Amino acid sequence: MGRSSAYSLIAKLRARLTEMAGDAERGREVVAALIGLVLDDAAVVPSLEDMSMEGSNAN
């Protein structure tokens, strides 16, 4: 993969993550959490109600 392709992919991923997380002040924190979940195979997804960690990796 060339540099141009890598930069293009980064821009597309950034746009998609921003679309998912929102463009609000908290959006960057949400994007960081999403990336962490993708990169960590053993990650647990936080609960929406209280943002505590769930005990399972269920989809």
* pLDDT, position 11: 92
Mean pLDDT score of the chain, rounded to an integer?
77
Q: What is the dihedral of CA 10, 28, 30, 3, to 10 degrees?
A: 10
Tell me how far CA of residue 22 lies from CA of 32, 35, 55, in angstroms.
12, 15, 26
* pLDDT, position 12: 93
How many other CB atoms are found less than 10 A from the CB of residue 31? 18
More confident residue, 24 or 9: 9
d(CA 37, CA 45): 7
pTM to 2 decimal places: 0.52
d(CA 56, CA 45): 8
More confident residue, 26 or 56: 26
